[in-house]
Amino acid sequence: MRNTLWETIAPNLTLLVISLVTFGAIIYALFLIGSRASVRWQGWLRYGVFLGPALLLLLVGLIYPALRTIWMSFMDKRSENFVGFDNYIWAFTIPEIQIVLRNTIIWVILVPLLSTMIGLAIAYLTDRMKRAGIVKSLVFMPMAISFVGASVIWNFVYNYEPNANKPEIGLLNAINRGLGIDPQNFLLIPPWNTLFLIIVLVWIQTGFAMVILSAAMKNVPDEVVEAAMLDGASNWRRFTQVTLPMIRGTVVVVLTTITIGTLKVFDIVRTMTGGNFQTNVIANEMYAQSFRQLNYGQGSTLAVILFIGVIPIIWYNVRQLRLERTER
């Protein structure tokens, strides 16, 4: 009645063998053509073989969807009629969407700054410490937790029990209650609730910032630091005027990486508040518009706004990398 194990495996195995043989044949054919071709053709062939597949995947997986999204942002909700800039006017005039844009800006400013600053501090403080590994592992661990997992954990931290006769299961409110302070419904008080959500992402990203910055600090030559010490520079001056300038490039990379990650934040908001209570951000609203309300036009518009928001950051990042390369 049911398929045996072999009956299930056999078709897949056959497919595997066929694809392996096909792959081998193509490679063999390429080498055959390569060995017969003239030197000039060999150059072109090299570009074709190495760039071709990557270009094709980029075209299918990135460029085409990007162009299509831009096109859809000028169409109505089922992508049937051209509506001009109506969707963009909608995005910048509806009060609910203005809150979304405002929140995204708050996220993008606060998360990279806080995570990088805290990460930098921990990296510097543990730089010459004994058993720094333990501290660093602890700080890095949240990085290994998925966003949704972290959100569920923090939901329990912020949880609020309206009925005073029932046990409080929220960590912060249990502390509040223990101290005799009125429990707060943390996720309900705008604009602070956005900050409480931001703490979750900072908690996750600090470990990332710390590890990268710590590695960069290890590359700062001891002689330079020693020279500064001999010159009588205080710890603070050694940090701000020796270490920090020497790892500046890495700091920029960390900042931009986290900024781009933050622009896309979605899981945390969706899991913890569902975008309610004025905590919504672009990525969540984009998803809700496109896939819950099937309004592809407005969803795509938000995607394009997000895309335009990322461009300056990428541009700055690339410029910074170029500068660094010329310095060396």
Partner 1 sequence: MRHFVRRRTMLGVATFSVAALTLAGCAAADDAGDTATDTGADTDTAMAAGCEAFADYMGNEGETVEIYTTIIEPESTLFQESFVPFEDCTGITIEWNGDQAFEEQIAVRVAGGTAPDLAIFPQPGLLENFSADLVPASAELTASVDTNYTADWKNYGSVDGTLYAAPLGANVKSFVWYSPKTFADNGWAIPTTWEELLTLSDEIVAGDFDGNAWCAGIESGAATGWAATDWMEDLMLRFQDAETYDAWVDNSMPFNDPKVLEVLGEAGKILKNADYIGDVPAIATTSFSAGGAGVVDGSCAMHRQASFLGGILVGDYGATVVGPEETDVEGGISTFYFPGVSADQTPALGGGEFVGAFNDAPAVQAVQLYLTSPDWNNAKAALGGWFSPNLGLDTANVADPVNAVAVQILQNATTFRFDASDLMPGEVGAGSFWTEMTAWIAEDKADQAVLDAIQATWPAS
Q: Which residues contact partner 1 (rule: CB under 8 A)?
A: 1-2, 77, 94-96, 160, 162-163, 165-166, 185, 187-188, 190, 270, 274-278, 287-288, 291-295
Residue 127 vs 161, nearer CB to partner 1: 161
CB of 291 to partner 1, least distance (A): 4
Residue 167 DSSP SS3: coil
CA atoms within 13 Å, Cβ hemisphere of 33: 14
Residue 4 vs 38, nearer CB to partner 1: 4
Structure token pair of residue 136: 């660093």
Are 126 and 135 spatial neighbours (Cβ–Cβ below 8 Å)? yes
CB of 299 to partner 1, least distance (A): 11
Residue 160 vs 307, nearer CB to partner 1: 160
**Which DSSP helix (H) or strand (E) runs through 109?**
helix 95-125
CB of 293 to partner 1, least distance (A): 4
Are 236 and 125 spatial neighbours (Cβ–Cβ below 8 Å)? no
Instruction: Calculate the CA dihedral of residues 307, 313, 319, 324 and round it to 10 degrees.
Output: -140
Residue 2 vs 325, nearer CB to partner 1: 2
CB of 163 to partner 1, least distance (A): 5
CB of 284 to partner 1, least distance (A): 9
Residue 24 vs 190, nearer CB to partner 1: 190
Structure token pair of residue 172: 């912060």
CB of 10 to partner 1, least distance (A): 17
* Burial status of residue 186 (CB atoms within 10 A of its CB: 0-12, 13-18, 19 or more): buried
Are 185 and 170 spatial neighbours (Cβ–Cβ below 8 Å)? no
* Cis peptide bond upstream of 191, omega within 30: yes
Pick from 229, 224, 259: which is nearest to 245 by CA?
A: 224
Residue 287 vs 316, nearer CB to partner 1: 287
CB of 76 to partner 1, least distance (A): 8
Residue 163 vs 326, nearer CB to partner 1: 163
Pick from 43, 56, 49, 55: which is nearest to 29 by CA?
A: 49
Structure token pair of residue 233: 């520079």
